[in-house]
């Protein structure tokens, strides 16, 4: 069956999540390239300081990815073979790969049907004496029920490491995600609410971050800035077999500009979300994302769910129809337990996590970026409603 392309006015393809890069970012990067320091140095240090201040965090460590932050946090805690880390199956594979990297066992539990965040009740039933870490993911930018997660963690003396790749800037009960003492890892990947192209940040208690800083750069006692900058010394000690996870000043230059624009970016994202909600709320074929009363959603993703039985086509066909109308989409995510590595190693079947599976089969992420114009948003709305009109039962 061929795709049905309606006579819509959009002639150019709309990417799912285009970044917003202005002249200020370009000039800041050029300034870095013309300086004497392009790798980890003074701008990275400034970025750490300003990022921590923005979130009212006790400290921040700039890294080359959110994955690096999660891995470094686990390694800093000494998590390893024999330990268990509880997390969600509805996440990008990096959240779980890092558990494998340190030799621990990932323990997956199902998600809540409204937020699609990890279910604290399921976490409680999964804890054992071997549980060292609970690793919740703030799915799509909606904060996890952190009070309930921390309550469970305290009961077994586990540490909470938050995957906040989607959650900048989000608030839980008035507090910024990342403002606490526990480790929280953020992403600045190209599609995120602010970007350094690639990059990440780990927040947490200062003493923890100092240990993490050593591991993040080969386990060395001094980074290049301390060795080669004015007053530095060439001597260093290797204190542990660490990683190569440092952020460069070129990335930090982007980050410094993007951080100053973040509030404006967020206001535009919320405008787009309101337009989507107004347009789709009355369509009985569509289930909209939620925002609970006690949180401030970061709106990294706008995840639309198709109501079962309302349309004559599958989610995959729905995506194809939007593509034919020049609207880019994505799916977040293929559940971890359905990937061959995890399926084969741990013997998972697709229905092992029924809430996750039922939502995966009917979800798609619509374009969401501060770069979207009013016309872009109107085109997305028109395309979605056209598909639901054509294929409604």
Which one of the listed residues 43, 192, 226, 371 is annotated catalytic? 192
| Active-site residue flag, 371 | no
Using the Cα atoms of residue 54, residue 55, residue 58 and residue 59 in order, give the sign of their dihedral: negative
Q: How far apart are CA 33 and CA 75, in angstroms?
A: 33
Q: Which residues contact 393 (CB under 8 A, 6 or more apart)?
A: 309, 310, 311, 312
Q: How far apart are CA 174 and CA 317, in angstroms?
A: 40
- Say if residues 102 and 71 touch (Cβ distance below 8 Å): yes
Q: How far apart are CA 393 and CA 383, in angstroms?
A: 18
Q: How far apart are CA 45 and CA 373, in angstroms?
A: 34
DSSP 336: G
Q: How far apart are CA 194 and CA 375, in angstroms?
A: 22
What proportions of the chain, in percent to the nearest 5, are helix, strand and coil?
Answer: 40, 15, 45
The residues with which 201 forms a beta bridge, in sequence order, are 62, 186
Q: How far apart are CA 169 and CA 390, in angstroms?
A: 38
Q: Which of 379, 377, 322 is nearest to 5 (CA)?
A: 322
Query: Which tokens is 30 given?
Result: 């050029």
Query: Which tokens is 142 given?
Result: 């909606």
Query: Which tokens is 358 given?
Result: 């039922």
Does residue 333 have a cis peptide bond before it, meaning omega lies within 30 degrees of 0? yes
User: How many CB atoms are located within 10 Å of the residue 52 CB?
Assistant: 20
Alpha-carbon dihedral of residues 104, 110, 112, 117, nearest 10 degrees?
A: 30
User: How many CB atoms are located within 10 Å of the residue 207 CB?
Assistant: 11
Q: How far apart are CA 323 and CA 320, in angstroms?
A: 5
Q: How far apart are CA 301 and CA 141, in angstroms?
A: 7
User: How many CB atoms are located within 10 Å of the residue 130 CB?
Assistant: 14
Which residues does the annotation mark as catalytic? 192
């Amino acid at each position: 069956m061929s795709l049905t392309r309606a006579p819509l006015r959009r002639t150019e393809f709309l990417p799912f999540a285009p970044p917003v890069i202005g002249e200020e970012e370009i000039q800041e990067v050029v300034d870095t390239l013309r300086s004497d320091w392009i790798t980890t140095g003074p701008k990275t240090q400034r970025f750490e300081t300003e990022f921590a201040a923005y979130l009212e965090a006790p400290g921040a460590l700039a890294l080359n990815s959110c994955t690096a932050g999660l891995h470094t946090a686990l390694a800093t805690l000494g998590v390893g073979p024999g330990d268990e880390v509880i997390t969600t199956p509805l996440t990008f594979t990096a959240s779980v790969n890092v558990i494998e990297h340190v030799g621990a066992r990932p323990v997956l539990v199902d998600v809540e049907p409204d937020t699609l965040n990890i279910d604290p009740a399921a976490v409680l039933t999964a804890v054992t004496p071997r549980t060292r870490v609970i690793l919740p993911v703030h799915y799509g930018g909606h904060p996890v029920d952190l009070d309930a997660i921390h309550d469970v963690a305290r009961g077994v003396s586990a540490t909470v490491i938050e995957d906040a790749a989607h959650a900048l800037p989000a608030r839980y009960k008035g507090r910024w995600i990342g403002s606490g003492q526990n480790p929280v890892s953020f992403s600045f990947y190209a599609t995120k609410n602010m970007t350094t192209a690639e990059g990440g940040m780990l927040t947490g208690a200062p003493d923890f971050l100092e240990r993490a800083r050593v591991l993040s750069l080969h386990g060395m006692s001094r980074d290049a800035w301390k060795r080669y900058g004015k007053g530095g010394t060439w001597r260093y000690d290797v204190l542990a077999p660490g990683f190569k996870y440092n952020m460069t000043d070129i990335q930090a230059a982007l980050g410094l500009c993007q951080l100053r624009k973040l509030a404006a970016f967020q206001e535009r994202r919320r405008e787009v979300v309101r337009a989507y909600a107004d347009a789709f709320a009355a369509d009985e074929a569509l289930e909209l994302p939620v925002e609970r009363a006690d949180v401030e959603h970061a709106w990294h993703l706008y995840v639309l769910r198709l109501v079962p039985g309302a349309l004559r086509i599958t989610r995959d066909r729905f995506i194809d129809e939007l593509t034919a109308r020049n609207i880019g989409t994505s799916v977040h995510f293929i559940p971890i337990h359905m990937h061959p590595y995890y399926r084969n190693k741990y013997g998972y079947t697709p229905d092992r996590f029924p809430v996750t599976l039922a939502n995966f089969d009917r979800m798609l992420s619509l374009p969401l970026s501060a770069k979207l114009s009013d016309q872009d948003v109107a085109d997305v709305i028109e395309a979605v409603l056209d598909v639901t009109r054509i294929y409604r039962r």
